[in-house]
Amino acid sequence: MSQGAVEDPSIQLDEFFTEFRAGSLRLRNRFAMAPMTRMQSPGGVPNAENIEYYRAHAAGGAGLLITEGTYVRGPAAGPEAAVPRFYDDDSAAGWRAVVEAVHAEGAAIVPQLWHTGVTRGDSPKFEPEVASVSPSGVDHNGQQVGQSLTTRDLDTLVESYVESASLAKHIGFDGLELHGAHGYLLDEFFWAATNHRQDEYGGTLRRRAGFPARVVAAVREAAGPDFTIIYRYSQWKGADYTARVAETPAELEELLTPLVEAGVDIFHTSLRRHWQPEFTEHADDMSLAGWTKKITGLPVITVGSVGVDSVFHGNRIDETQAQRFQVLQEQFERGEFDIVALGRALLADPEWVNKVHDGRLSEITPFR
């Protein structure tokens, strides 16, 4: 963040330092640490370095910490052995220590449960003997990668998510997040490019949302009515920043309604630029976060280049940070979102939230 970037007296972020509650989630403010893959857990087990990483960000003032993506038990959850897992006793012990450290600093924390699907590729380092799986066994270009998920595979996957969700509640997490964005497994059911299925999980948007909704419903049943379920989704994919699943508000409603009915409490809309309108042909210029909240009526987390000078995996941003903080403030006041997540800004400076709160803006370490 540039020196003095939000020292404009017209920018008031006081509203972001109010409490937020939803189910089991109790937050001291509206700032969250976004999930960021680190691959710093040898053997998939959180270690002392991981514990300190999360503790430091909790001490830095964020109200909510969303962990890096953590693998559910297979089949073929991901390619990297140093990504933390969310099953088995050793990983559970490591995560319990993380939770205790974060809670001691006054923050809440949820794990992000992750299956990478076809993006795992043909040459994974983790479980290389197991073929990658996805809705139709093809990547976004229609190329064969691994194999299609069978009915039995789908049953196993649901059990895997339930296992991890139950563990999250047992360990003492404040809720959980399901990673359904960026072209990973659950998102591959949404996206027509990767979902060519002819069964009940293929075809219309509502049918393509069927398996993710089934996962949500199973997690809800296992975790109980009050354990907060966050669902992260996106239009863009890691392999295609221009990808779109829903072209209109009506299509977005068709996609999200099954997830709401299944038991999602909060949506986490993954954006690269939080200030950009989602449906440019529509008179209402809300962001995807704003449309999500309008359609579902549920709380929403927004994210996307907050507190940094360049867009994720892109060029420098034309708008100044002061301009974007003004837009962020206006979006919040209009009720487009409830929580704002930061990624790179917190990687550069874990104390970012405390420094903003205290007015020590010139002390913020910028992300480079």
Per residue in 62-73, pLDDT (tens digit) is 999 999 999 999
- In this structure, which amino acid lies at residue 313? H
Q: Taken in order 124, 148, 73, 205, is the CA torsion positive or negative?
A: positive
Q: Which pLDDT does position 74 carry in this prediction?
A: 84
280 and 274 in contact (C-beta within 8 Å)?
no
In this model, does residue 6 exceed pLDDT 50? no
Q: Is 342 helix (H, G, I), strand (E, B) or coil?
A: strand
170-220 residue pLDDT tens:
999 999 999 999 999 999 999 999 999 999 999 999 999 999 999 999 999
Q: Which pLDDT does position 2 carry in this prediction?
A: 38
Radius of gyration of the chain (CA): 20
Q: Annotated catalytic sites, by residue?
A: 184
The reported pTM is: 0.94
**Residue 202 half-sphere exposure toward CB, CA atoms < 13 A:** 13
Average pLDDT of the chain, as a whole number: 92
Q: Which pLDDT does position 272 carry in this prediction?
A: 86
For domain 14-363, the CATH class is alpha beta
Instruction: Tell me how many degrees the CA angle 64-67-72 measures, rounded to the nearest 5.
Output: 135
C-beta neighbour count of 230 within 10 angstroms = 26
